[in-house]
Amino acid sequence: MTVPAPQPGPLVDEANAEQFRAWNGDEVQHWVTHIDRYEAASARFDPWLLTAAGLTATDRVLDVGCGAGRSSNAAARAAVDGHVVGLDLSAPLLALARRRAEAAGLTNATFVQGDAQVHPFQPAAFDVVLSRFGVMFFGDPSAAFANIATAVRPGGRLAMLVWQGMDRNEWLGVLFETLAAGRPLPAPAAGAPGPFGLADPDTVQRVLTDAGFVDVDLADVREPERVGADVDDAYAFMTSLGPTKGLLGGLDERARTAALDLLRNRLADRAGPDGVLLGAAAWLVTARRGDLGAR
């Protein structure tokens, strides 16, 4: 009798074990269920990333933290005679990415499960590395970017979007403001693995420079996040988010109702003909891979 060999999991650094669990466990189900909305919410940032990446037809592209592959597939359309590798921790999101690429007839995009911090990249195999909000979760950003840098040929390009601080990102800040109900709520720590892990521009400069990138530049990009078609739709989505449930925990019925009314009113303030638009700010980070010998 042949017994199927145990499937080895990807190599994951201990510092990213929690993220691996989160992006493969129950929490990712919300992303899978609402993937179109998650991706479309940030759609106004897409042209910034693609323009900065300046893809040519023959480019070999690495998309780090590709999720369900929105940016990978856009890159594959541009690099028609090249290829794109989407790398991500999350098996459920990668399965979606593969299905979508196949449905779109994109034969030059492949998707690989791995931890960018320790993934055994083939040296200098890529002309461009890009990321759409997929690089802020590393337990050790210095180690992660040093590893990513090995994958890019000298002179190759980097273009990525990362969130600025929560004070400039109403799409999450609104939850902390309206659901506080008088409590001092600690904001997610800037620099900790999570949406604001690379919010500090000096950290980004240092980490990328230490990794061997040159000409590091951060451009301040402001675009709204579209969280719903109308107030009801946005309210249903925002109240289904994990952070909302966490923030409401511990409130009694009265405080909870008042907090949720406040949230609904804020969403109503932001509703318009294009849907409910919340303020958002990203760093568009660009750089070039330096010559290894010059380091």
Ligand X SMILES: C[S@@+](CC[C@H](N)C(=O)[O-])C[C@H]1O[C@@H](n2cnc3c(N)ncnc32)[C@H](O)[C@@H]1O
In the complex, the residues that contact ligand X under the rule CB under 6 A are: 16, 19, 23, 39, 65-67, 70-71, 87-90, 93, 115-117, 132-134, 137-138
Nearer residue to ligand X within complex by CB, 113 or 286: 113
Nearer residue to ligand X within complex by CB, 93 or 231: 93
Beta carbon of residue 71, minimum distance to ligand X (angstroms, whole number): 6
Beta carbon of residue 70, minimum distance to ligand X (angstroms, whole number): 5
Cα–Cα distance for residue pair 241/246, rounded to 1 Å: 9
From the CB of residue 57, how many other CB atoms can be counted at a distance below 10 Å?
9
Beta carbon of residue 244, minimum distance to ligand X (angstroms, whole number): 17
Nearer residue to ligand X within complex by CB, 14 or 167: 14
To 10 degrees, what angle do helices 70-78 and 46-53 make? Answer: 40
Beta carbon of residue 265, minimum distance to ligand X (angstroms, whole number): 28
Nearer residue to ligand X within complex by CB, 72 or 178: 72
Beta carbon of residue 272, minimum distance to ligand X (angstroms, whole number): 24
Strand partners for 287: 158
To 10 degrees, what angle do helices 17-24 and 91-103 make? Answer: 50
* C-alpha dist (Å) from residue 3 to 8, 10, 61: 15, 21, 37
Sheet with 271-272, edge to edge strand ranges: 225-228, 275-278, 271-272
Put residue 223 in one of left, alpha, beta given phi > 0 → left and psi -120 to 50 → alpha: beta
Cα-Cα-Cα-Cα dihedral of 103, 107, 108, 110, to 10°?
70
Cα–Cα distance for residue pair 279/146, rounded to 1 Å: 32
Q: Helix or strand or coil: residue 182?
A: coil
Beta carbon of residue 100, minimum distance to ligand X (angstroms, whole number): 12
Nearer residue to ligand X within complex by CB, 133 or 237: 133
Nearer residue to ligand X within complex by CB, 39 or 200: 39
